[in-house]
Amino acid sequence: MLDRERADHRFATLLRWVTGTRPERLIVLCFDAPADAAGAGATALRLAGCLADLPAHRLVDLALASGGSVVAAHDACPAAAALPHLEPLPALTGVRVTVRAQTPEPGQPAVVVDEAQPPVGRRFLVRRPTEPPVIEHAADSDDQARLVLDVNSDYAFFTHTASLPGDANEDGSVDLDDFVTLKQRFGTAPAAWFDGDFNADGAVDLDDFAILKQNFGATAAP
């Protein structure tokens, strides 16, 4: 718990820096990624650890703090290219948070900030009224609860736009994969769409099962 609290404190400091600088697009890199992996003229954050180990809510926290978009660049971390806990983020955030390769481009070097030592000046330590708020998570809340809080918060600038009720994994069809997801997460609260909360009431329950049942076998229009 102490290590988690320290990580939360360090990340909160980083979020205040993001809030103060408000990069339009923030590239998130693995700890061992080269600076040019961010692309020319980009603002990049080099993590203290591996991108594959980063909780999904951290990326959403960064998007909320910046008011812009966040790209988790998996160039130097192939393991992060297909992690289940990161896959729902584009749909949940209206593509404000994406996980993809970031092709290096020639030009002005990127501004790379290290998570372990964010350049936080005095003016970033005091939150100004005009700055977007940084969501504060309870120390004992798990990663899933934090992600749900982010996505459903009053500060979120993105909404879920899925068009197929019951399609938990958003692969374009309501099938056994979606049923398995709902079954595994049944009873979860708080919950989000990718848990099986299709009516957005914050819990996975019989109402959501009824929605999946009614739409079972349906496919999205091409």
Looking at every residue in the chain, the average pLDDT score rounds to 76
Q: How far is CA 171 from CA 88, 134, 178, 188, 212, in A?
A: 11, 32, 9, 22, 14
Q: What is the pLDDT of residue 1?
A: 52
Q: What is the pLDDT of residue 38?
A: 63
Question: In this predicted model, which residue has the larger pLDDT, 193 or 2?
Answer: 193
Q: How confident is the model at residue 170 (pLDDT cuts 50, 70, 90)?
A: confident
Domain positions in the chain are: 2-141+148-152, 162-215
- Taking only the tens place, the pLDDT of each residue in 11-35 is 887 887 787 777 877 888 888 777 6
Mean pLDDT value across residues 138-157: 79
Q: What is the pLDDT of residue 215?
A: 94
Q: Which CATH number fits domain 162-215: 1.10.10.410, 3.30.9.10, 1.10.1330.10, 3.40.190.10?
A: 1.10.1330.10
Supply the DSSP string of 190-210, one letter for each residue.
Answer: S--GGGT-TT-SSS-SHHHHH
8 Å CB contact between 69 and 61? no
Whole-model pTM: value is 0.65
Residue with tokens 């994994």: 169
8 Å CB contact between 149 and 135? yes
Q: How far is CA 41 from CA 37, 64, 75, in A?
A: 11, 22, 18
**How far is 89 from 117, CA to CA, in rounded Å?**
26
